[in-house]
Amino acid sequence: MGRLINAEFRKILTTKMWWGLMIPTFIVALAMAWGVGALTSDIADDVYREDFIKSAGIGKDSVSFGVIALTRAINISTMFPLIFGALALSSELHRKTITTSFLTASSRPALLSAKAITYVLWGAIYGIVIVLGASLGTLAGSDSDILPEGGQWMLIALMGIVSTVLWTLLGLGVGALMGSPVASVIVLLIYAIIVGPVSEIVLTGFADGKPNIAGALPNGSANGLTGSTAADLIQKQIEELAQGKPISDRAVDTFQAAMRFAAGAPGAFALWASALIFIGWSMLFFVSGLARNQRRDIT
Amino acid sequence: MHDGSGRIVVQNLTKHFGQVGAVQNLSFHVEPGSVTGFLGPNGAGKTTTLRMLLGLVTPTAGWATINGQPFNHLGNPGRVVGAVLEAQGFHPTRSARNHLRVYAAAMGIPDQRCDEVLHLVGLGEAAHRKAGGFSLGMKQRLALATALLGDPQVLVLDEPANGLDPEGIAWLRTFLRSFAGGGRTVLISSHLLAEVEQTIDQVVIISRGQTMYYGMLDDLRKSQQSRVIAQPSDPNKLVGALQEAGLSGATPTQDGKIAIPGVTVQQVGDVAAKAGVALYGVQEERADLEELFFRLTSGQYAAPQNPPQFGQLPPGAHGTPPGGYAAPVQLPQGAQPGGWNPQSGPVPQAPPPPQGYDQHQGYQGGQGGNA
């Protein structure tokens, strides 16, 4: 297995695609976090300038709205590792290098497992790049008052890396199922950029803002990983501001929904539920993609 | 895991793609130390058979083994069998050397072997060039280098001469002879008998997915019969005289001559002189292997015009190739392929590699050729 993983790493490192995709990944994460951070800071400025907020003695540093920049940037940047994963097997099928790969591997399951392990590692590498870009962008674009604390930051970063790994595997599975690099990349991009986000907003609109089917879809659950973490954090800080005054459950729900929407995860479930749902989706595509190639006639 | 024999066995192999029967009940085996030609027209099922042997296509029925094991039980298959297949791909921007390094890693062999095989196939100079810029012939050489990477005991080649220049083909011939001469096994497919005739000992001829002939190439050669083509002043009179002399089977050819099987020029001359028929021309002719091959496989497509010298001969009237699947000529168990002495043990000495495309010259055709 070690030999085959080594071979997979060489396949990746001997062409330009890994850095050709990694550069835009970093730039998009950085720019998105920077922009959203600046925008959030402006809005926060306006809010805290209001007299009633001032009179309540609420300081600008009491709520870490900066997490929104972080999650938004992570969510959009995952489309690059998604493409990277989608090409893993489909380009081998397309270029027919899969023939030699199968001829030099002890078995198909061994080769496909080696690919899976390799792309989990590469997904993590992309995840670190994304988190780095998003963090730098958030730092650069946001008022220092609205930045989250280190621990909270780390939790969102960790969720971002988990989400990137799962997106990579989902891409690998779809590419393996479809067998065509162009078709699988187009289908995945249309879903991740257009169909997913739009359907989630529409579904959430009809669901009256509560967690709903949008959060159970692949894109919705993936965004929930980071978005719900951010929303939880802001929620806790607001509750602290209320200083023990009773807040109705309904108010909590409404606020959560609003924050998840702001963090780019409309209709999402709580962190743990989103994680389980997205792991399910990734595994569904990943396993069926590999199963398809277990039996495929290579002609 | 495997018995190390280098033996290939194909038994009752069958493959249907949907309704289309690509390969039907194919059986043959290839002994170590021999080169076996796997011949048939395009679309006869050669590629599908080789891909089933290599575990790339799942058979509908039957089985194939290398070293007594199906391909996916070989453990580290690249060390046992190397394959050059049609449409075997390369990443266009990956260099030749990096392509080999990928698969060297998969087989667990050191990187220096990549340079060895590149030099062996004459691609030493092109090691750092991208495979996407290679000519067809260079790609074939790179595919062969990949096949040889694991120093395998068995080589399977699907139409390896495609795209090779004449020098490359001559080099490949010499290389395969010496590879098999070291006790290893070679199975090579082609749609042209002439292309591999000088290289192979044994031949499997298939058409429409079925075996048409399986046996030694020499036996196929011996099955040919000679005939005499004569141009008499009076064909009818000569045919009559021949029949009187007990020489039957004469048939007219398209250009007004007559063809008489199984006789000598002298016999025809004597009969014609006795009958008082003038002969304007008389010559002896042997059917070549290509014609036999063509007849064995011509069921697949409508036969194009027969070569003129054979005229209107009904099929089978000339030469007696074993026909059909029912009675293939079987190589006796343990029979040694003729023409050379298999040795066991020593690693085959590769012929000197061609020094690039333009420099090497003077390679002879494979030894044992009859050309």
Q: Which tens digit of pLDDT belongs to each residue from B174-185?
A: 999 999 998 999
Nearest to B347 by CA among B152, B198, B70, B165: B152
Residue A295 contacts B, CB cutoff 8 Å: yes
Residues 6 or more apart in contact with residue B93 via CB below 8 angstroms: A15, A16, B130, B132
Residue of A nearest to B98 (CA): A14
Residue ranges making up the domain that contains B337? 8-221+331-359
d(CA B265, CA B282): 7
Contact flag A104-B92 (C-beta cutoff 8 Å): no
Contact flag A297-B56 (C-beta cutoff 8 Å): yes
Contact flag A104-B95 (C-beta cutoff 8 Å): no
User: What string of DSSP letters covers B24-59?
Assistant: EEEEEEE-TT-EEEEE--TTSSHHHHHHHHTTSS--
Element holding A126 (H helix, E strand):
helix A108-141
Of A98, A99, A103, Cβ closest to residue B78: A103
Instruction: Tell me, yes or no, whether B292 and B155 share the same domain.
Output: no
Residue of A nearest to B156 (CA): A103
Residue of A nearest to B132 (CA): A95
Number of independent structural domains in chain A: 1
Q: Residue A223: how many CA atoms within 13 Å on its side-chain side?
A: 30
Q: Which residues of B touch A100 (CB under 8 A)?
A: 88-89, 103, 146
Contact flag A14-B95 (C-beta cutoff 8 Å): yes
Distance from CA of A265 to the nearest CA of B (A): 39
Residues 6 or more apart in contact with residue B175 via CB below 8 angstroms: B350, B351
Instruction: Tell me, yes or no, whether B141 and B125 share the same domain.
Output: yes
Contact flag A106-B83 (C-beta cutoff 8 Å): no
Residue B371 contacts A, CB cutoff 8 Å: no
Residue of B nearest to A109 (CA): B72
d(CA B287, CA B319): 8
Instruction: Tell me, yes or no, whether B117 and B244 share the same domain.
Output: no
Contact flag A99-B78 (C-beta cutoff 8 Å): no
Instruction: Tell me, yes or no, whether B144 and B258 share the same domain.
Output: no
Q: Which tens digit of pLDDT belongs to each residue from B159-211?
A: 888 878 888 888 889 999 999 998 999 999 998 888 888 889 899 998 888 88
Digit-by-digit pLDDT tens for chain A (299 residues) are 899 999 999 999 999 999 999 999 999 999 999 999 999 888 888 877 777 766 766 667 777 888 889 999 999 999 999 999 999 999 999 999 999 999 999 999 999 999 999 999 999 999 999 999 999 999 998 888 888 888 889 999 999 999 999 999 999 999 999 999 999 999 999 998 888 888 888 888 787 767 778 888 888 888 888 888 888 888 888 777 776 666 677 777 777 788 888 877 787 888 888 999 999 999 999 999 988 998 888 88
Nearest to A181 by CA among B47, B105, B17, B89: B89
Q: Which residues of B touch A299 (CB under 8 A)?
A: 47-48, 51, 56-57
What CATH code is carried by the domain that includes residue B279?
3.30.70.100
Instruction: Tell me, yes or no, whether B138 and B64 share the same domain.
Output: yes
Contact flag A95-B92 (C-beta cutoff 8 Å): yes
Q: Which residues of B touch A99 (CB under 8 A)?
A: 56, 85, 87-89
- Whether residue B326 lies inside any domain: the answer is no
Of A6, A98, A99, Cβ closest to residue B105: A6
Residue of B nearest to A6 (CA): B105
Cα-Cα end-to-end distance for chain B = 42
- Whether residue A35 lies inside any domain: the answer is yes
Cross-strand partners of B343: none
Mean pLDDT of B107-129: 94
Is residue B49 predicted with pLDDT exceeding 90?
yes
- Whether residue A134 lies inside any domain: the answer is yes
What's the sign of the alpha-carbon dihedral A234, A235, A236, A237?
Answer: positive
d(CA B34, CA B186): 6
Q: Which residues of B touch A88 (CB under 8 A)?
A: none
pLDDT band at B1 (very low <50, low <70, confident <90, very high): low
Asked if A65 and A147 count as a contact pair (C-beta separation under 8 A), the reply is no
- Whether residue B67 lies inside any domain: the answer is yes
Residue of A nearest to B128 (CA): A14
Distance from CA of B115 to the nearest CA of A (A): 17
- Whether residue A20 lies inside any domain: the answer is yes
φ, ψ for residue B214 (rounded to 5)?
Answer: -145, 115
Give residue A206's pLDDT.
80
Contact flag B89-A10 (C-beta cutoff 8 Å): no
Beta strand B210-216 with B202-207 is antiparallel
Q: Which residues of B touch A108 (CB under 8 A)?
A: 72
Q: Which tens digit of pLDDT belongs to each residue from B127-140?
A: 999 999 998 889 99
Number of independent structural domains in chain B: 2
d(CA B121, CA B179): 13
Cross-strand partners of B158: B189
Mean pLDDT of B307-334: 35
Nearest to B34 by CA among B284, B215, B162: B215
How many Cβ atoms sit within 10 Å of the Cβ of residue A1? 12
d(CA B325, CA B14): 14
Q: Would you tell me which residues 112-131 of chain A have a C-beta closer than 8 angstroms to some C-beta of chain B?
A: none
Give residue B366's pLDDT.
37
Give residue B287's pLDDT.
64
Contact flag A104-B77 (C-beta cutoff 8 Å): yes
Q: Which tens digit of pLDDT belongs to each residue from A68-85?
A: 899 999 999 999 999 999
Mean pLDDT of B233-254: 84
d(CA B161, CA B163): 6
Give residue B87's pLDDT.
62
B18 or A122, higher pLDDT: A122
Give residue A209's pLDDT.
65
Asked if A48 and A60 count as a contact pair (C-beta separation under 8 A), the reply is yes
Residue ranges making up the domain that contains A255? 2-294
Distance from CA of B96 to the nearest CA of A (A): 11
Residue of A nearest to B75 (CA): A106
Instruction: Tell me, yes or no, whether B264 and B154 share the same domain.
Output: no
Q: Provide the token pair at B188.
A: 């090579």
d(CA A188, CA A179): 13
Instruction: Tell me, yes or no, whether B181 and B305 share the same domain.
Output: no
Of A100, A106, A295, Cβ closest to residue B76: A106
Residue A14 contacts B, CB cutoff 8 Å: yes
B232 or A205, higher pLDDT: B232
Amino acid making up residue A128: I
Of A14, A98, A102, Cβ closest to residue B94: A14
Residues 6 or more apart in contact with residue A251 via CB below 8 angstroms: none
Q: What CA–CA distances, in Å, run from A52 to A241, B322, B352? A: 14, 104, 91
Of B74, B89, B106, Cβ closest to residue A7: B106
Contact flag B102-A108 (C-beta cutoff 8 Å): no
Cross-strand partners of B206: B211
- Whether residue B315 lies inside any domain: the answer is no
d(CA A9, CA A14): 8
Give residue B194's pLDDT.
80
What's the sign of the alpha-carbon dihedral A200, A204, A207, A210?
Answer: positive
Q: Would you tell me which residues 15-44 of chain A have a C-beta closer than 8 angstroms to some C-beta of chain B?
A: 15-16
pLDDT averaged over every residue in chain B: 78
- Whether residue A299 lies inside any domain: the answer is no
Q: Which residues of A touch B108 (CB under 8 A)?
A: 3
- Whether residue B258 lies inside any domain: the answer is yes
Q: Which tens digit of pLDDT belongs to each residue from B298-313?
A: 654 433 333 333 333 3
Q: Would you tell me which residues 69-108 of chain B have a C-beta closer than 8 angstroms to some C-beta of chain A?
A: 72, 74-78, 81, 83, 85, 87-95, 98-99, 101-103, 105-108
Instruction: Tell me, yes or no, whether B69 and B128 share the same domain.
Output: yes
Contact flag A4-B51 (C-beta cutoff 8 Å): no
B153 or B215, higher pLDDT: B153
Question: Residue B24, by phi and psi: left (phi above 0), alpha (psi -120 to 50) or beta?
Answer: beta
Give residue B115's pLDDT.
95
Is residue B8 predicted with pLDDT exceeding 70?
yes
By CB atoms closer than 10 A (0-12, 13-18, 19+), residue A124 is middle
Is residue B275 predicted with pLDDT exceeding 70?
yes
Q: Which residues of B touch A6 (CB under 8 A)?
A: 105-106
